[in-house]
């Protein structure tokens, strides 16, 4: 008779411990399924995620362009031409003046651009440093009208979804006023669409994956140099990160699973009547500190 | 008498449910403290995390430099100077030739560099596009010898930890051979150390946080333009992402909590006897596709 309460308690104990761990596991999977709390579609998160960020960085190097340091890397002398001070100052002013003319331009002329120039600006982007000299970038230059239009349809479809979500109830009222927000004519008009993919990992000869650490930073730096190269020849673009389109565009362009879309740049001459938003840049003292 | 087993069971039930939720909570915090499965020190992860990545991107714009599109943004005409085709091609070749001379250089001369040049290269970096024109960058140029040395001590301490972990047992054998891997003399020698911080969020007038979407991509693009500007005046650097040093360096330089260290660039003239690893770059057909 005394055994009954003990048994009941023991039974309840076991039962509840099991419950407890079930609750624990459910919480656990919930958080790890969506580690960045990003958009609700897992397949998008999966494809947009920078795999290198999802891995430990304990085994990488902090200095770039030096994958096999400490092993048998050979060093060569480096003695570039040196400018006198006054010339340096002048050169730094000239380059600033040129880059400061750059604006994000949405009104692009359909006039053709020499392919040789596209080759040279991408070559220039390819001189960027990268984590462990992995050069984890792929530039896809699209000039085929049909392919450009299919890219436009994918981008505009997602954009419309985003704007509708953003507008919510207000939407039905003034739809027309906002259509311009997701209509991207320049995707048909620009002579070239340059889609830049980051390679989140590489494939080694033994078919093992090699993580490309800092692949997003590396490819973004290359894009900075690409923007400078475009500005240097008088071509314009608008930096865009097509929202949730990465997977569809990757499949459309038949890029492998280790490549994730980072940026889409429509490239061409500015249209005759091009306008840009009247934006100012921060003064130097807001972005530069001297210690 | 019958009440006793029931009461015991009920008591056990309550007790175990509490236990269950405690377990659940502990799991929960454990996973969210380390969302990317990165290094095991939560405070490091916390500080290294790109907050913008941790938030939904449903409400941001895909086109940059256009924060208030659809609202009352005014547009101004944009008609930059246009180059004839042959001149474009020549300019694109010249710029490529110049940027292709850039290498990551660890042997930096102690000779002083004109401050005006540092100002101009940072001004140039500040012309980069950014998500919603947030300009989420802070450049800290350190020339103070004591501060440079304190930065060096922080970086080398972390580097040594990383290398010891990497070497494991092999370590004790040939420690000397690898010391060069974490000794960073250039942090004392270079006339300037430029530390680049990404502002993961901004503070609005009403003290609310404003997420800076794509802040890491934006600041990395600005760094690409900075590297181009340095190369343009004949200065050298080595791109580095000090591993796990972000929080300590941020505190040393008294940067606010919304700023995370992205890159550290020692800047100066190359040393007379400078050498660079004998690395090659990928051929164009490996990085550029035409469709």
CA-closest candidate to residue B195, choices B237, B225, B153, B257: B237
Q: What integer pLDDT is reported at residue B20 of this predicted model?
A: 53
The residue among B225, B244, B248 with the most chain A CBs within 10 A of its CB, best to mutate, is B225
Q: Which structure tokens are listed for B101?
A: 């001379």
**Cβ–Cβ below 8 Å for B77 and A275:** yes
Percent of all residues in chain B with a pLDDT value above 90, rounded to a whole number: 60
**Cβ–Cβ below 8 Å for A103 and B177:** no
The answer to which of A168-172, A201-205, A216-220 has the lowest mean pLDDT is: A168-172
Contact indicator for A192, A141 with CB cutoff of 8 Å: yes
A231 SS3 class: helix
The mean per-residue pLDDT over the stretch A246-272 comes to 97
CATH architecture of B92-274: 3-Layer(aba) Sandwich (3.40)
pLDDT at A153 over 80: yes
CA-closest candidate to residue A49, choices A64, A26, A32: A32
**Cα B9 to Cα A11: distance, rounded to the nearest angstrom:** 8
The answer to which of A73-77, A192-196, B106-110 has the lowest mean pLDDT is: A73-77
Q: Which residue of B has its CA nearest to A38?
A: B56
What letter would DSSP give residue B128?
S
Q: What integer pLDDT is reported at residue B244 of this predicted model?
A: 85
Q: What's the pLDDT tens digit per position in B156-212? A: 998 888 777 766 655 445 555 545 567 899 999 999 999 999 999 998 899 899 889
Give the C-alpha distances (Å, rounded to integers) separating B211 from A50, A263, B139, B214: 19, 20, 20, 9
The mean per-residue pLDDT over the stretch A174-203 comes to 84
Question: For A51-86, b where at least 16 C-beta lie within 10 A, e where not — what string?
Answer: bbbebebeebbbbbbbbeebeeeeeeebebeebeee
The mean per-residue pLDDT over the stretch A273-288 comes to 95
CA-closest candidate to residue B219, choices B103, B139, B119: B139
**Cβ–Cβ below 8 Å for B290 and A141:** yes
**Cβ–Cβ below 8 Å for A222 and B223:** no
The answer to which of A53-57, A131-135, A146-150, B171-175 has the lowest mean pLDDT is: A53-57
**Cα B123 to Cα B198: distance, rounded to the nearest angstrom:** 16
Residue A105 contacts by C-beta under 8 Å, 6 or more apart in sequence? Answer: A236, A237, A238, A270, A274, A276, B78
**Cα A231 to Cα A144: distance, rounded to the nearest angstrom:** 24
CB pairs under 8 A between A and B: 469
Q: What's the pLDDT tens digit per position in A31-48? A: 333 333 333 332 333 333
Residue B249 contacts by C-beta under 8 Å, 6 or more apart in sequence? Answer: B151, B154, B155, B195, B242, B261, B264
Residue A10 contacts by C-beta under 8 Å, 6 or more apart in sequence? Answer: none
Chain A residues touching B100 at Cβ < 8 A: 123-124, 127
Q: Where are the domains of chain A?
A: 92-274
Q: What's the pLDDT tens digit per position in B227-252? A: 999 999 999 999 999 878 999 999 99
**Cα A142 to Cα B11: distance, rounded to the nearest angstrom:** 69
CA of residue B211 relative to chain centroid, distance: 17
**Cβ–Cβ below 8 Å for A116 and B92:** yes
**Cβ–Cβ below 8 Å for B127 and A281:** yes
Percent of all residues in chain A with a pLDDT value above 90, rounded to a whole number: 60
Q: What integer pLDDT is reported at residue B176 of this predicted model?
A: 52
Q: How far is A265 from chain B (nearest CA, A)?
A: 10
Average pLDDT, chain A: 81
């Amino acid at each position: 008779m005394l055994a009954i309460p003990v048994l009941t308690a023991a039974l309840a104990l076991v039962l509840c411990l099991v419950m407890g761990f079930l609750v624990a596991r459910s919480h656990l999977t919930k958080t790890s399924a969506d580690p960045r709390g990003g958009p609700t579609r897992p397949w998008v998160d999966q494809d947009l995620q920078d795999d290198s960020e999802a891995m430990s960085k304990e085994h990488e190097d902090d200095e770039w362009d030096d994958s096999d340091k400490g092993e048998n890397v050979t060093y060569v002398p480096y003695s570039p031409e040196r400018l006198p001070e006054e010339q340096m100052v002048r050169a730094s002013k000239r380059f600033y003046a040129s880059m400061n003319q750059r604006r994000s331009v949405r009104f692009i002329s359909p006039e053709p651009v020499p392919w040789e120039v596209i080759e040279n600006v991408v070559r220039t982007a390819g001189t960027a440093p990268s984590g462990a000299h992995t050069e984890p970038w792929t530039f896809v230059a699209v000039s085929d009208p049909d392919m450009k239009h299919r890219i436009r349809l994918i981008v505009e479809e997602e954009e419309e979804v985003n704007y509708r979500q953003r507008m919510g109830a207000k939407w039905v009222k003034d739809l027309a006023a906002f259509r311009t927000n997701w209509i991207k004519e320049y995707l048909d008009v620009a002579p070239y669409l340059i889609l830049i993919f980051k390679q989140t990992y590489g494939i080694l000869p033994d078919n093992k994956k090699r993580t490309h650490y800092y692949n997003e930073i590396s490819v973004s730096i290359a894009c900075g140099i690409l923007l400078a190269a475009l500005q240097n020849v008088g071509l314009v673009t608008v930096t865009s990160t097509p929202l949730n389109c990465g997977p569809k565009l990757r499949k459309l362009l038949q890029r492998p699973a280790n490549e994730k879309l980072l940026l889409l740049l429509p490239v061409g001459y500015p249209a005759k009547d091009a306008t840009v938003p009247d934006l100012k840049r921060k003064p130097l003292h807001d972005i530069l500190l001297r210690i």
